[in-house]
Each structure stands twice: as structure tokens, then as C-alpha cells.
Structure 1
Amino acid sequence: MAYIRIRKHYLHLPYLVLGCIEMIGHGLIAHFLSSLLTPAPEFPFLERAPILSQTLFYAVIMGCCALSMGVYGALTRESFTNMVLRTIVSFFLLGSLAFTLSRFVVPGVTLHQTAIFWSIIASFFMVMLTRVVFSRVIDSQQLRRNVVIYGSGNMAGFLVESAAAEGLRETEIVGCIGESFDDRIPASLHMGIPDDWSAFTQLHNVSEIVVAQDERRKSEGGGVPLYEFLLLKLRAVSISEAVSFYEREFTRMKIPLLSTSWMLYSDGFRYSKSRDVAKRMFDLAISGGLCILLAPFMLLTAIAVYLESGGPVLYHQNRVGYNGKNFRIYKFRSMRQDAEKGGKAIWASKNDSRVTRVGAVIRNTRLDELPQLYNVIRGEMSFVGPRPERPEFVKALGEKLPHYDIRHTVKPGLMGWAQLKYPYGASEEDAKNKLEYDLYYTKNHSFLMDLLIMIQTVEVVLLGKGVH
């Protein structure tokens, strides 16, 4: 399998293995160079544990920096040059900044400054070599999962079309089984119903069969060869259905494919009181720490806003939050005071003329969002969750988009899965596309997924993605 599922979140197994190999490499480099460049301790045995903790800390920070800049996804989606540039930023900029801050916050687990300098340089060359080897291996068909779709109608055509449009890194659709085929399915993928399923899967090296029939007869099996598929499952061939396959491969939930019954019986959309308590404690700890750490930046932002366009410095709006309850969200004002004449809600647009010069800067750097730490402390928001919308938009979208209210069953957040995967939403069509990611998060959210979102949001902030 090219995937591993941890806490309901699918991770690409080859990239997870690559990340683990690199972290081991980081640790070995840091341990060797710290032993070489750090003055020898008077009692080596007693100092061994701190050195091990320091090298582990170094490896974790370097791994998080690479993940935050989307380095692993760039291995297949972008050119080798872009991957190198992302690695340079992640190691020499983010890594150096992280270790500098850690010397003040947690000095006991930070390596000696000289050891950090040479370790980062050595880590850079180590990961370049590792990724070159990995890129040669990952292109091998042996690491790709061959998938056959059992179906040839509209549902199968949609999956084939989506795979062709967006690309699947480790999965290849080798055919669709049926009699009459949707126009979106090319002739090269047409397959008849096999007489011997075992021989068929061996011939095409099939790893998974996706059941994607538009209509299922009420008779047992609904036209699906259940017994044959059961035998294949016992022989390590995965059997899945279209909605789950799409969710896993594209990390979102396509609204036209969803049904209330599937959502009810799926492995997800569950409430956990212990998870809510843990998330609340985490939110309070992080928001409190950030308020202290970022207080100078918030003061400078407030002064800049006031000097350019006067007061008020803060801007507030009503938003829809947890369980559909309205609350007041706070931001540093980035638009003119008369941005919405008459009080009518207006979607933001690209290069919006209402944005001030200071506003453009604080939007690009996300400094305008910092007052929402107050909303997090009050419990109206969380660090990670769907972005809250205005009541006027929620009412209109709820009438047009099925399942829209489900996104309100979790707390809204400062950052979210949709913000990582989709540009800034400035229309009803954008809201529909972002809802697909919000539903994925609502179904699968966990502490691990929240951490991944927080780490990867660094790339969004640094590159100014999704800013209007």
C-alpha cells in the first residue's frame, strides 16, 4: 500500500519513509558534529542524555521546517530547482530562525551555535542526495498502485476525469470494467468483466478495485460480485467504493457524491469530549504564548494602521461559529473605513481597491489576523478549523449547498485545511470548493492533522498564498 492511515488521516507511505530517513540522517549529523565541535564534557556518561535530546530536537525541527515549506510534495509536482529553493528556505531561513528562538525559549535542548551552523549545511547536502535517489526510485512502476474501477458509467467517468485533471502521484487507474462506457473514459481503459478475477488481478498487478456503479440492483450484491471480491480481499487486493476512494486520493469530499447515509455509516464525523478538552488546553497554551511573543508586532501594526488612515485600528465583524452561534471576530483594519457603504456584505476580490497600503502588507503577512488570538482565548475559535463566514453569506450558501451546516459542528479556526488546499474564497463557487475541504476536515480532524495544518501554514504565510 502507498498509504498509511494515522488517526483517520492518510499519509503517503513513500514520503513518510523518506521523512523518517532524513530525520535519522539529521540526528546522526547533529550528533557527530556536536561531539566534534562542542567542548568535551568533564563527565561524558552524565552528559550523554542531554546530547541525545539535543540531536533529537534538531532532527524534529529540521523535519518540521521541510514539511512546512511543502518540500515533499514539490518532489513530484514541481521542478528539481523549485524543490532545492524550498529546501534552502526551510533550512537556512526557517531552521536558523527556529534554533535562534529556541535558545531563548528552551536553551537546554539546543545544540551549540557552531554545531548548528555546520549541521544545517551538512543536512542540506544529505537531503539533496537522499531526494535524488528517492526521485529515481519513486518513478518506478513498482511503487505505483494499480487501480481498477468496477463500473463504467457517470461515477466511473467522474473518477477518471478527476484523476486526469489533478494527477495522482502513486496511483494509476489501469482500467474500468463494464459494458457501455461513459464518454469521459478513454478506449484504452475499457475492460470487460473477467471470468477469472484472480488471474485478472495478477495479470494487471491490481492493488485495489474501486466499486463505482451508478445504480445497484436490489438483489444481493447489487450487481457486484461480492464473493469474488471477498476472496480478492483475502489475497491482499483492497476493495473500496467511489466516495472513500475520492476522499483518500484528493483529500476532500466531492459534494455531488455524498449522501447522508454514507456520512452516517462512514468512519468519521464523531464527537469526542476528551479530544475537545485536549484541543482547548492546546489552544489556550499556544494562544497565550503567542500573545506574549507577538505583542511587539501587534503594537507596531496598530501604530502603522493608525498613522496611515486614523482610527479605529481594530475591525470587527459578526461571524457564524460553533453550532451556528454568532460571535464577533476581530482583525486589524486593512480596508478603508467606508469599505462597505450601507452595511451590505461584499465578497473580497483580488487586488481589492478598498485595501490600504498598510492593509496590503498586514494581509500578506497575516498580521491582520493576530487579534483573533483573543477569540481563541475566549473559546469562540480554535487554532485549526474551518474559517468562519459572515451570517449573510452563511444563509445564502446554506440554501444552495447541501451539507453546508455540517462545517459548524466543529469550532472555526485561525487556519484550516481549506486554506492550505484552496485559494482565497471570493465567490459562491469558491465557497462550494472550500466546503469540500471543510467537510474532509470535519470528518477526519485529529490532533495529528491539526499539527500538520499548523506546520504547513508556514508556507502559506511566507509565500503569501490565498491573499486578496
Structure 2
Amino acid sequence: MRLSVRITKRAIDICGALAGLSLTAPAFPVIAAAIYLDDRGPIFYRQRRAGTLRSVTVEDGIKRLQFNEFHMHKFRTMRTDAEKHTGAVLASKGDPRVTRVGRVLRKTRLDELPQLFEVLRGTMSLVGPRPERPELLQDLSFAIPFFEERMRGMKPGITGLAQVSLGYLGDIPEGSAIESFAGTLQNPFDLEEAEGAVADDMRIKLLYDLAYAAATERLSSYLAMELKILFKTPITMIRGSGR
């Protein structure tokens, strides 16, 4: 990423995060009350996430990834014991662990609002690849070649090209430009046991994340892409695109 892009991106992040917090601050106590009344417990959810990729090494034939890790905060959308028996797993469609209020927050992306503070701290950006848990990224890098490259020199974002183009989990919306390629990108051999695999949706996300990364190589293409995503994000929230 060029210096001019980094400086411009940081300026947009700071201005955008301050504006976003000013506009959404009145909604915070309302959301907090709804979460507590629906499912007594913590209002916020704190979780370790992977930031920018630092290095890739191979030890005993196994690829090891190192990220700039940070703690991300969201409005809680799942039961407090969501991972008690499963450990770290990605959310799935119709996930029974999601609360009633949580479904609304996820559908409208309002659960992401506390991450505006992470943007001000500089651990996240307004726009970038979706932040994932380090252990899950390690597993996905085994299943999807070069999956970790989406985070090379790139901070994770609250929103991004994949987030405004795909469903909440990375599924392909009907009528989208990429739908005609779904057969070659998702379960191309029609294996029953591979139907609905998480890696398929994440592979689609990777294509969009790499396209965004390519746009950051020039200031003009970056600005066009950044403004397009920022414009589409509130529309995505209002429409409730995704789960």
C-alpha cells in the first residue's frame, strides 16, 4: 500500500469513526437495554482477533502464521455459553446460539458499532477484510491456498467489499454478478459431504478482499473503491442483507 493511500485511509478512518460515533451514540443505550432484557448477561463481547499479517513461516512442513493480534469489541449477539462445548467455531446460518435481539443486530450490522473505537485506536480500519480469530485463520489457510494474504499489509475493517457484496457469512446473493461462477467456486465436484462447507463461502470472500487490496495500489482507484463501499454500507444495513 502506497504512503499516499495509507495517509488518506487513516484520515478517512478518523473522520469517519468520529462522525459514526456522533450519529450512533444515542442508539448505544437502546441496544444495550435490548440485549440485557432479551438475554441477561454482558452487553459487549470481547474477543481476540487477527490484524495485519506479520509473517509466514514453515516449521516441520506446517505453515505458521503470525498476526498483529488485538481485542475486538461488539455488541453481544449470542448466548453467554455459546462456545462452552464447541470452542472456536464460525457462526452458521440459522445458528441456534444467536439470541432474538442478536439476529436483528447481525442482520442490520449494528453489532459492529463498538468497533468504531477500534478504528480510532488504529487496530482496525473502516474498510478492510473482516477480522477473524487467529486460530480459525490458521485452519482456513490450510484449506484455502493463500487465504492469509488478504491480511498482508492490511488492517481488518468494520465493513468491506465482501461485506457489502455478499451475505453475512459470505454466501452469494441471488442475482449477483458472481452467482454464475458459483458452480466452479463452491463444491465443484458436487460432493454431498462438502455441501455448505465454510471454506466455500470464505473462498468467495477472499476474491473480494484481494480485489480491494489491488485497488489500494493507486490513490485514485483506492478512493473510488473506498467511497463506493462506504456509500453502500448504510444501504446494506437498512436492507438487512445477510443473515
Normalized against structure 1, the TM-score is what? Answer: 0.41
Q: Which amino acid aligns with 1:424?
A: Y
1:336 and 2:79 matched: yes
Deviations 1:52-104 (A, max 9, x none): xxxxxxxxxxxxxxxxxxxxxxxxxxxxxxxxxxxxxxxxxxxxxxxxxxxxx
Counterpart check, 1:441 vs 2:171: no
Identity, % of aligned pairs? Answer: 44
Map residues 243-254 of structure 1 onto 2, 5 A cutoff.
Answer: none
- RMSD of aligned alpha carbons: 1.5
Deviation at 1:274? 2.0
Larger of the two Rg values belongs to structure: 1
CA distance in 1: counterparts of 2:242 and 2:108, whole angstroms? 11
* SS at structure 1 position matched to 2:45: strand
Return the match for 1:405 from 148, 155, 177. 148
Shift of 1:457: 2.0
2:227 to 439, 451, 454: 451
In the TM superposition, what is the alpha-carbon distance from 1:343 to its structure 2 partner? Answer: 6.2
User: Residue 132 of structure 2 aligns to a residue in which SS?
Assistant: coil
For residue 15 of structure 2, give the secondary structure of its aligned residue in structure 1: helix
Alignment of 1:429 onto 2:173: no
The aligned counterpart of 1:377 is 120
Match of 2:103 in 1: 360
Can you list the C-alpha shifts for 1:122-173, whole angstroms capped at 9, x where unaligned? xxxxxxxxxxxxxxxxxxxxxxxxxxxxxxxxxxxxxxxxxxxxxxxxxxxx
Alignment correspondent of 1:312: 42
1:464 to 237, 240, 243: 240
How far did residue 407 of structure 1 move?
0.9
With over 3 angstroms needed to count, the CA separation of the structure-2 counterparts of 1:343 and 1:280, relative to structure 1, is: farther
Q: Structure 1: any 5+ residue segments left out of the alignment?
A: 1-270
How do 1:118-137 residues align onto structure 2 when only pairs under 5 Å count? none
CA–CA distance in structure 2, aligned partners of residues 447 and 380 of structure 1: 21
Aligned position for 1:67 = none
1:349–1:343 Cα change, 3 Å: closer
Alpha-carbon distance in structure 2 between the residues aligned to 1:353 and 1:403: 32
User: What amino acid is the match of 2:110?
Assistant: L
CA distance in 1, matches of 2:163, 2:110: 16
For structure 2, list consecutive stretches of 5 or more residues without a partner in the other structure: 54-66, 171-197, 217-221
Give the whole-Å Cα distance in 2 for the aligned partners of 1:405 and 1:443. 15
Distance 1:290 1:459, change over 3 A: closer
Which deviations, in whole Å up to 9, do the C-alpha atoms of 1:298-352 show, x marking residues without a partner?
A: 1111111112222211001111111221111110001110111146112211121
Q: 1:413 to 1:290 in 2, by over 3 A?
A: same
Amino acid at match of 1:357: R
Letter in 1 for 2:35: V
Write out aligned runs for 1:8-407 (5 A). 271-323=1-53, 324-342=67-85, 344-407=87-150
Shift of the alpha carbon at 1:353? 1.2
| 1:362-385 deviation per Cα after TM superposition (whole angstroms, max 9, x unaligned) | 222221110000111111111111
Q: Secondary structure at the match of 2:77?
A: coil
Letter in 1 for 2:232: Q
Q: Of residues 419, 426, 430 in structure 1, which corresponds to 2:163? A: 419
User: Given residue 405 of structure 1, which amino acid in structure 2 is its aligned partner?
Assistant: E
- Matched residues in 2 for 1:333 and 1:347: separation? 15
| Greater length-normalized contact order (CA 8 Å, ≥ 6 residues apart) | 2
Verify the 8 A CA contact 1:419 1:466 in the aligned structure 2.
Answer: no
1:434 CA displacement:
0.9
Q: Which residue of 2 aligns with 1:32?
A: none
CA distance in 1, matches of 2:168, 2:25: 27
Shift of the 384–435 alpha-carbon distance from structure 1 to 2, 3 Å rule, reads same
Counterpart position of 2:185: none
Give the number of equivalent residue pairs. Answer: 197
Secondary structure at 2:129 match in 1: coil
Conserved in 1, the CA contact under 8 Å of 2:77 and 2:111?
yes
TM-superposed deviation, 1:441:
0.9
Q: Distance in 1 between matches of 2:167 and 2:102?
A: 19
- Match of 2:26, SS state, is helix
